[in-house]
Structure 1
Amino acid sequence: MRSFFCILYICIHRFFSLFFMVKFVYLKKYGTREKQLQYAYSWLQTLSKGIMFFSGAKLSVKGKENIPENQSVLFVGNHKSIFDIPILVSIINVPISFIGKIQLKKTPIVSFWMKETNCIFMDRNDIRQSLKSITEGIELLKKGQSLLIFPEGTRIIGEEIGEFKKGSLKLATKSNVPIIPVYVGNSYRILETQFPWVKARDITVNIGEPIVLDELKVEDKKDLAGYVKDKVEALRN
């Protein structure tokens, strides 16, 4: 039943998003880019909160005070479920962009709002295109836009956290923004363990203190992917 309500909510929200687009077109013509981004992200956040409500999931969140309000950061988290993005968008109030699969670019309406929140589409099977996506992400961070990535590169079902891909952390090293480690626990039990049924679960979200690259030891900088993974692992407890 929860699966039905989640799907129904998404369909209804997509329908009404057509009306939201009218205001967005107005902002596109007469408003600032900042207002456009805020409006687009507010729509995405409303959708995410609705999805989480109808999923029945209960979120336990710690560390929101570690999120800077006036500085771009790179959120780095573990990836367990397709619900991870709605979970994080629903609790992070500053506009964030994320890197999504190229296939999402063909999804009606959703792709429009993803583009308007500066999300980046990546084709992992195309090395050149992937490098271009990383470059776009670096430029976004330099311009003050925060970004969310899952450096495991895929969903890891279960409690284990996979290896973090070194290349993804170039987003931080090349833009020199702080890294915010994020741990999401138990999200895979909402859907992935009994697909296609959505089940109410208790979800843990722990947000760590910013990692400032200039303050790291040389050896930690050399193995930044391993260092950040250890920080995410430490947030389990």
Structure 2
Amino acid sequence: MLGFLIKVIRYFLIVFLFTFINIFCLIFFVFRYKNPNNNYLYSRILSHVFIKLLRVKVEYRGKNNLKVMNSSVLIANHQSYFDSVIFGGIFPYKTVVMGKKSLIWLPIFGWIFLLGGNLFINRKNHAKAMDTMKVVDTAIQQGRSLWMFPEGTRSHGRGLNGFKKGAFYAAIQNRVNIQPIVSSTFRNAIDISKWNSGKVLVEVLDPIPTLDVNVEDIETIVNNAHTLMKNKIASLDKEIQGVL
């Protein structure tokens, strides 16, 4: 009974606080149109508020890799909407996100996404998707980093899906590092009906250089990145489960 009550109260507070934060940020970001640091502020606020509310313990490792990062293509595993809360705690400055075009139709959140200078891709239209990749090149050349979920869709904790190649093309063509970031699996590890909901491990891995990589080698670099991230996620999950 107590667990059910905690869960209901948290759901109510999540809806209320998410709505309040989004309205506040929408008004504030109107005066900072397409400033990429809107994304940094928004991510950090969401992360701080909801990690505290849900009492999830999040341990971030390898943050020094972000401190020395120049323009990069950051890739992370994509599990659920909770990704924005977990990864928000280490979201870097001057970073834009690649998202599907339909996001713009989401009230308030989609508009905040637009105001952050983020990039929309139309996956159903190859020509328009290619135009978006040209905008990506411009953003990287202007000193911004790009955050992408190469799986394309959420895995819901059922393992790391296969990677699409867009993030890797962007990195190789612009001669910037690929920066992998992984989190342990949320599914079965977080229970918001408990006072202390659970623990998540997040690790920023060593960057993958692309300076000497050709587009012809993209399959190799995609497979290597997938294997690296999959193995690290498995290692973090074992640690969470107390196996290590």
TM-score bucket (shorter structure): 0.7 to 0.9
Mapping of 1:153-164 within 5 angstroms?
Answer: 153-164=152-163
Q: Per the alignment, in what secondary structure is the counterpart of residue 36 of structure 2?
A: helix
Q: Per the alignment, in what secondary structure is the counterpart of residue 211 of structure 2?
A: helix
In the other structure, the counterpart of 1:185 is 184
From 196, 201, 213, the equivalent of 1:204 is 201
CA contact (8 A) 1:74 1:149 kept: yes
Structure 1 residue 112, shift from structure 2 partner: 3.0
Task: Note the aligned Cα RMSD (angstroms).
Answer: 2.9
Rounded Cα–Cα distance in structure 2 between residues aligned with 1:112 and 1:3 = 23
Q: 1:150 and 1:18, CA in 2 relative to 1: closer, same or farther beyond 3 A?
A: closer
CA contact (8 A) 2:169 2:215 kept: no
CA contact (8 A) 1:100 1:122 kept: yes
Residue type of the partner of 1:214?
L
Gaps of 5+ in 2: 1-7, 236-244
CA contact (8 A) 1:156 1:162 kept: yes
CA contact (8 A) 1:151 1:168 kept: yes
Gaps of 5+ in 1: none
CA contact (8 A) 1:57 1:190 kept: no
Residue type of the partner of 1:88?
F
TM-score, length-scaled by structure 2: 0.78
In the other structure, the counterpart of 1:230 is 227
Alignment of 1:152 onto 2:164: no
Q: 1:123 and 1:201, CA in 2 relative to 1: closer, same or farther beyond 3 A?
A: farther
In the other structure, the counterpart of 1:6 is 14
Alignment of 1:170 onto 2:178: no
Structure 1 residue 64, shift from structure 2 partner: 0.6
Residue type of the partner of 2:112?
W
Percent of paired sites with the same residue = 23
Structure 1 residue 139, shift from structure 2 partner: 1.9
Aligned residues: 224
Rounded Cα–Cα distance in structure 2 between residues aligned with 1:109 and 1:162 = 29
CA contact (8 A) 1:152 1:163 kept: yes
In the other structure, the counterpart of 2:240 is none
Residue type of the partner of 2:17?
Y
